[in-house]
Structures are given as structure tokens and as C-alpha cells.
Homo-oligomer: A and B are copies of this chain.
Amino acid sequence: MEYPSRTIEEAVEELASLPGIGRKTALRLALHILKKSEAEAERLGKAIIAMRKETKFCKCCGNISDEDICKICSNPRRKQDIICVVEDAKDVIALESTQQFMGTYHVLGGLINPLMGIGPSMLNIDSLVERAASEEVKEIIFAFTANIEGDTTAFYLSKKLAPKGVSISSIARGIPMGTDLEFADEVTLARSLINRTRLTTPGGE
């Protein structure tokens, strides 16, 4: 592709370095930005720079934060004895939107992925082991995507955390709400059978 201007080419190259954005999409975005006012384009550019410069990571859980300790970790109404371990900040937002979890989180910053060269030492695991060693912590929940990386990470962490005397669990795998059984894949369906939820007991409780 030959670009009509050098500045456009630079912007397209930069935008195309983002995940899921190829050259054509990047060009479409660049042309859209050209139609905006100079002030709007500046706001977008500066927001990106400011975000990278000013965003901190919570010293306790590793989540994105404006302060040294994030809003969730510093909230006295959150239970400190239960930690939900997630891949990244997106997952915290998703879980928080359920309003079902009153514990704290631990953000790994990725999943173990040997093919991509991501080993345990590159993740925020040491601080999790440290937190788990505290007497206060009773349960750790793994909330990972159901794929090889998620399972590998859960397996590695289970081994690592088992000696700490905490209860370890994983979020349930099964049929999503509103999904027809016929469209579910075999692995999900098999897991949903194995991990079936008891509705009544023979005694009629």
C-alpha cells in the first residue's frame, strides 16, 4: 500500500500495531481522525499518552489503579479472606459487573503460555503466593478463560498454593444462560454433566 502522506503512514503503522487492527482498519481509523477537529484528535492522542504515564498497578492485587492501593483492596467492606485470581483487568470489570463477589482480586497480568514464551516468572504470581500465606486468606478462586493456557495456569497455581493451607476452587464451566444444548460443544456439555448441580436429594431436602 502506498500512502499519500508520510504522517498518515506513520499513524497507520502505529494504529496497526494494536491487537485486532490491520492496515486497512488502521487506515479507516486514520481517515476518521482526519475528519475530527484538531482538538478532538489531540484529546485522543493525549489520553493514550496520559493513560500509559499515570496509570499505576495496585501494590496488593496488581489491578490497574489511580492510587498505590486500588479501590477494591482498600475497601473495608470487601472480604479479605477470599481472593479471586484473574488474567487481567478486563476480567475484574466483568466479575464486578455481576455484583456477586464481595472478596478481593488478584490480577496475574496474563496466563502461562509456553508457546508465546510466557512463563510463571513473568506473571504476578509471587505476590499471590505471599498473600495466600497470610493467615487471613481462606479461599482462592481461579476465574480463567476455559482454554489450555487457563488450565495450565490453574494447574500450576494449585501446586504452588496447595501447601499454604487455603481452599482452592475454580469458577464453574457449563452451558451459558440462554444457549441451546444442541449448539454447545461436546467438551462443555461433558463438563456440565460431570459438574452437575444437585437440585433435590433423595430425602427430599
A residues in contact (CB < 8 Å) with B: 1-8, 10-11, 13-15, 17-21, 24-25, 27-34, 36, 38, 40-56, 63-66, 70-72, 88-90, 92-93, 96-97
CB–CB B14/A48 < 8 A:
yes
CB–CB B4/A64 < 8 A:
yes
Cα distance, A4 to B96, chains bound together (Å): 10
Q: Which residues of B contact A29 (CB under 8 A)?
A: 18-21
Which residue, of A2, A40, A45, A96, has the highest number of chain B Cβ atoms within 10 A? A45
Across the two chains, which residue of chain B brings its CB closest to A6? Answer: B66
Using A17-B44, A32-B18 as known contacts, say yes or no to A93 and B4 having CB atoms under 8 A apart. Answer: yes
Cα distance, A25 to B139, chains bound together (Å): 32
Q: Which residues of B contact A90 (CB under 8 A)?
A: 24, 27-28, 31
CB–CB B34/A42 < 8 A:
no
Using A45-B49, A48-B33, A93-B1 as known contacts, say yes or no to A54 and B7 having CB atoms under 8 A apart. Answer: yes
CB–CB B50/A4 < 8 A:
no
Known contacts A8-B55, A27-B90; 11 additional CB pairs below 8 A are: A1-B97, A4-B64, A4-B89, A6-B66, A8-B51, A8-B89, A10-B51, A28-B90, A33-B48, A34-B64, A45-B47
Q: Which residues of B contact A89 (CB under 8 A)?
A: 4, 8, 31
The complex is assembled from copies of this chain, and their number is: 2
CB–CB A97/B10 < 8 A:
no
CB–CB A7/B45 < 8 A:
no
Closest 5 CB pairs of A and B: A41-B52, A45-B49, A11-B51, A45-B45, A45-B48
Q: Which residues of B contact A51 (CB under 8 A)?
A: 7-8, 10-11, 30, 33-34, 41
CB–CB A70/B4 < 8 A:
yes
Cα distance, A91 to B47, chains bound together (Å): 30
CB distance from A27 to the nearest CB of B (A): 6
